[in-house]
Amino acid sequence: MNHLSLIIKREYLTKVKNKSFIIMTILSPLIMIALIAVVAYLTQLNNNKERTIAILDESGLVSDIFKDTEHTTYKVLTNTTLEAAKEDVKTNETYGLLYITKSVDTTQFYNNVTFYSEDTPSLTVISSLENKLEKKFQDIKLERDGVDLEKIKSSKTSVDISQESFSGETTSKIDNVLKLAFGGIAGYLLFMFIIIYGNMIMRSVIEEKTSRIIEVIISSVKPIQLMMGKIIGTSLAGITQFVIWVILGGLMMLIVSTIFGIDFSEMQSSQQQLMQQAMESPEFESQLKLAFAAFQNLPIANLILAFIFFFVGGYLLYSSLYAAIGAAVDNETDTQQFMMPILMPLILAVYVGVFTVIEDPHGTVSTVFSFIPLTSPVVMLMRIPFGVPIWQQLLSLALLIGTFMFTVWFAAKIYRVGILMYGKKPSYKELYKWLKY
């Protein structure tokens, strides 16, 4: 075991002291922040641009629906012809001209509206205009058919079924969203970690072969110790880098936003603005309370423990697969084709999680996938918020760790035999013989 700690220490220190590792650790958050800052700045620039849009409404039906907003001013033209209006718009450098013809056919409005502009208008401008017109035309149609608009408005109802378990816990739809989000975040994090650091583990396993030190090392330590040491050492280096990224990124975000006065929270789409409006409504407050309640309903302690164990277990398992690839090949160029198949089960896990766990958390598909080691880290983490018996969690975890150990052991076998093969392809009979040794 003393060997193992020596190997871990060496792997960790050589990774962390490596110049490119240090540069990437510092540079990555800088690049990210710079990108975000640029995007934020450009978005602000775009939003601040003021536009004037001229309206020539010959039908006289819709001119009242255009209300000025912060960045857009509507100029309703009257008593002018289309040609004159166009000239006017051109000379005044107005953004564009919205023209609605006089003889509006109430069944076919879409033929009768045209937007004239110097350049191709932006998609958001056009769709916002379309939205406004659609709503107005719909109202006009309804009124023409004798429908009372007020009645339609008042008929709108929203039903929110309150849920309660037999033991008296109240739950809500937000529960499910929260639960799914938890599993989703865990899966995404795992995915990211494996993509970033899986390769690093593979390269580290190949290192002894390319530097030809392999025979010296292999005559001093057992291959399984080497594999284990590499996986653990490299993972620790990865975690170190990740933690530094989070801290550095957070700090720099703070610094950049105070220096340049860019409010990152302002970077939001119109949907988020809608959310904000919704938040201010009293209805939302009750929803928020439900969300809090939902959060408290979650088995927090279980979740945190499960997250740590399944995340670490899943990460180790996938790392050991990369290690096995590294053990089987002679150089890095041979490894590219293996990258995708390794990630496939993980992608599958996320899909299973999103499509079946939410529908039926304890159904056959969800349960089976939460035991299969390659998918269990994601699927089980999604299931746990819905309440999974401890024995199931432990069994799944045991399977996960067991598979990890098996893969490392297998990788070590491949590794030991790989150096002796003199470029010959081994037969299955031989493969079996190696495993016994």
Partner 1 sequence: MSNLLVANSVSKSFGNFKALNNVSISVPTGSIFGLLGPNGAGKTTLIRIINQITMPDEGSVMLDGDALQPHHIQDIGYLPEERGLYKSMKVGEQALYLAQLKGLSKSVAKERLKYWFDKLDIGDWWNKKIQELSKGQAQKIQFIVTVLHQPKLLIFDEPFSGFDPINANLIKDEILQLRDEGATVIFSTHRMESVEELCDHIALIHESNKILDGKLTDIKRQFKTNTFEVGLQTDNINEVTRLIKDKFEVFPATFKNLNDDLKLNIKLNANDTSNDLLSFLTSKAEVHHFVEVVPSANDIFIQTVKNN
Which residues of the shown chain bind partner 1 in the complex (CB under 8 A)?
3, 6, 10, 14, 18, 207, 211-222, 416, 419-422, 424, 426-427, 430, 437
The β-bridge relationship of strands 170-171 and 163-164 is antiparallel
The CB-of-13 to partner 1 minimum distance in angstroms stands at 8
Select 383 or 416, whichever has its Cβ closest to partner 1: 416
DSSP state of 425: P
Amino acid at 127: S
Nearer to partner 1, 115 or 434 (CB): 434
Helices and strands, number each (H, E), in the chain? 16, 6
At closest approach, how far in Å is the CB of 193 from partner 1? 24
Coil/strand/helix, residue 55:
strand
User: Which of residues 222 and 289 has its CB atom nearest to partner 1 in the complex?
Assistant: 222
CB of 256 to partner 1, least distance (A): 34
If the CB atoms of residues 289 and 433 are measured against partner 1, the closer one turns out to be: 433
Is 13 or 31 the residue whose CB approaches partner 1 more closely?
Answer: 13
> Least distance in Å: CB of 203 to partner 1?
12
> By C-alpha distance, which of 319, 310, 309 is closest to 238?
319
Q: Which two tokens stand for residue 70?
A: 């912060």
| Helix 336-352 vs helix 300-328: crossing angle, to nearest 10 | 160
Please name every residue paired with 98 in a beta bridge, in sequence order, or none if there are none: 55, 115
User: Exposed, middle or buried by CB within 10 Å (0-12, 13-18, 19+), for 137?
Assistant: middle
In the block, tokens 């390769």 appear at 199
Nearer to partner 1, 166 or 437 (CB): 437
Nearest-approach distance from CB 220 to partner 1, in angstroms: 4
Return d(Cα 305, Cα 295) in angstroms, integer: 16
Q: Which is nearer to partner 1, 401 or 419 (CB)?
A: 419
CB of 244 to partner 1, least distance (A): 21
Closest contact distance (angstroms) between CB of 224 and partner 1 is 12
Q: Classify 104 as helix, strand or coil.
A: coil
The full DSSP string for 279-309 is HHSHHHHHHHHHHHHHHHHS-HHHHHHHHHH
> How many Å apart are CA 405 and CA 408, to the nearest integer?
5
Of 391 and 422, the one with the shorter C-beta distance to partner 1 is: 422
Residue 280's φ and ψ, nearest 5 degrees, are: -75, -20
CB of 18 to partner 1, least distance (A): 7
Q: Is 299 left (phi over 0), alpha (psi -120 to 50) or beta?
A: beta
| Neighbour-count burial for 201-211, b at 16+ CB within 10 Å, e otherwise | bbbbbbbbbee
Contact (CB, 8 A) for 155 and 137: no
CB 332 → partner 1: shortest distance, Å? 15
Integer Cα distance of 239 and 235 in angstroms: 6
Least gap, CB of 331 to partner 1 (angstroms): 14
Taking Cα atoms as reference points, which of 421, 412, 428, 437 lies closest to residue 225?
Answer: 412
3-state class of 147 per DSSP? coil
Q: Is 230 exposed, middle or buried (0-12, 13-18, 19+ CB in 10 A)?
A: buried
Nearer to partner 1 by Cβ, of 245 and 434: the residue is 434
Extended beta strands in 33-185, E state: 51-57, 72-77, 96-100, 113-117, 163-164, 170-171
Q: Which is nearer to partner 1, 305 or 421 (CB)?
A: 421
CB of 234 to partner 1, least distance (A): 15
- Select 57 or 208, whichever has its Cβ closest to partner 1: 208
